[in-house]
């Protein structure tokens, strides 16, 4: 599989501005910060949850607890990923019973990651409500899951991927939209392009050969025929008159008469 970088969707400034906006939306929707707890999904959901908590602390002067959730063992495709999956640590130190849990992730795609996170959260207690905050929503849902707080909607195709890079995990802040090209698809595309070029060359060669053959088989003499027609402008009638005059002249000569037109 080949990944080709396509475009930068968000830079560091835009990411920080978006996080601040989402923090304000969370406080506004819940009419304050009482009873809130932020839980980030590993891996990049965790630093995003911590940044949202810092933003709320900045304008509300209240510290919101932040938990960490690793959903590896709750994935429905666990056996497809690896026979020996790497399981991270889940840390939710605060009781979530009867509290509003803000689940935080970087990208919302099919909804399977969020479904697994919901299953794991329920094992920790019975929250009052669970709300979902994501930095990027790229669509293509496979489960009936909708984010309550979205940083940016990025429409994508199935051959594209959205990668969130954060300073805490990747050394930089960026959201990158990339194309994914499978090796087989690449080979097929190259073969089709090569075949089209070859067909074009073959077509040109055939047209050239047909032109040469037509030129070789071209029937000459059309202009000559026209010239013959032009020379015989008198036609058959003129020929008959000349013949009659010649016959008359010969008869007069044989009888000893005077040839018309000759003077003695």
Residue 1 has pLDDT above 70, yes or no: no
| pLDDT at position 49 | 98
- Could you read off the pLDDT of 180-206 as tens digits, one per residue? 776 565 556 566 666 666 666 666 667
Residue 231 resides in a domain = no
Residue 216 has pLDDT above 90, yes or no: no
Residue 58 resides in a domain = yes
**Longest pairwise C-alpha distance within the chain:** 153
Question: For residue 98, with 0-12 CB atoms within 10 Å meaning exposed, 13-18 middle and 19 or more buried, which class applies?
Answer: exposed
**66-75, 83-92, 119-128: least confidently modelled range:** 83-92
Residue 263 resides in a domain = no
Cβ neighbors of 175 (< 8 A, separation 6 or more) are 8, 9, 10, 15, 135, 136, 152, 154, 162, 163, 164, 165
- pLDDT: which is higher, 247 or 224: 247
- Could you read off the pLDDT of 6-37 as tens digits, one per residue? 899 999 999 999 999 999 999 999 999 999 99
Residue 73 has pLDDT above 70, yes or no: yes
Query: Where residue 27 sits, what CATH number does that domain have?
Result: 3.40.50.2020
Residue 226 resides in a domain = no
- pLDDT: which is higher, 12 or 232: 12
Residue 246 resides in a domain = no
Residue 174 has pLDDT above 90, yes or no: yes
Q: Average per-residue pLDDT in the chain?
A: 81
pLDDT band at 224 (very low <50, low <70, confident <90, very high): very low
pLDDT band at 264 (very low <50, low <70, confident <90, very high): very low
| pLDDT at position 218 | 60
β-strands 149-153, 2-11: how paired?
A: unpaired
Residue 68 has pLDDT above 70, yes or no: yes
Residue 251 resides in a domain = no
- Could you read off the pLDDT of 84-114 as tens digits, one per residue? 555 678 899 999 999 999 999 999 999 999 9
| pLDDT at position 44 | 96
Report the candidate in 65, 147, 77, 78 with the shortest Cα–Cα distance to residue 109: 147
Number of domains in the chain: 1
Residue 99 resides in a domain = yes
Average pLDDT over residues 126-145: 96
**52-61, 116-125, 239-248: least confidently modelled range:** 239-248
pLDDT band at 162 (very low <50, low <70, confident <90, very high): very high
Q: Does residue 60 contact residue 33 with C-beta atoms inside 8 Å?
A: yes
Residue 32 resides in a domain = yes
**190-225: b or e for each residue (b if 16 or more CB lie within 10 Å)?**
eeeeeeeeeeeeeeeeeeeeeeeeeeeeeeeeeeee
The whole domain housing 105 covers 11-77+86-155
């Amino acid at each position: 599989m080949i990944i080709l970088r396509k475009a930068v969707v968000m830079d560091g400034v835009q990411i920080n501005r978006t996080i601040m906006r989402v923090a304000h939306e969370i406080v506004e929707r819940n009419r304050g910060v009482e009873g809130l707890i932020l839980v980030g999904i590993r891996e990049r959901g965790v630093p995003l949850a911590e940044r949202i908590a810092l933003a709320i602390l900045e304008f509300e002067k209240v510290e919101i607890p932040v938990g960490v959730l690793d959903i590896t063992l709750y994935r429905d495709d666990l056996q497809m990923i690896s026979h020996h999956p790497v399981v991270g640590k889940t840390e939710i130190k605060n009781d979530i019973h009867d509290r509003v849990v803000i689940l935080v992730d970087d990208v919302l795609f099919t909804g399977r990651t969020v479904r697994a996170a919901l299953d794991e959260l329920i094992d920790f207690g019975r929250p009052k409500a669970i709300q979902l905050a994501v930095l990027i929503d790229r669509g293509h849902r496979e489960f009936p899951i909708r984010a309550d707080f979205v940083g940016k909607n990025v429409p994508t195709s199935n051959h594209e991927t959205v990668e969130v890079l954060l300073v805490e995990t990747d050394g930089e802040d960026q959201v990158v939209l990339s194309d994914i090209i499978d090796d087989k698809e690449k080979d097929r595309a190259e073969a089709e392009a090569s075949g089209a070029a070859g067909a074009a060359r073959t077509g040109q060669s055939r047209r050239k050969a047909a032109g040469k053959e037509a030129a070789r088989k071209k029937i000459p003499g059309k202009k000559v025929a026209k010239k013959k027609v032009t020379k015989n402008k008198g036609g058959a009638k003129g020929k008959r008159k000349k013949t009659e005059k010649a016959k008359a002249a010969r008869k007069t000569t044989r009888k000893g008469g005077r040839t018309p037109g000759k003077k003695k």
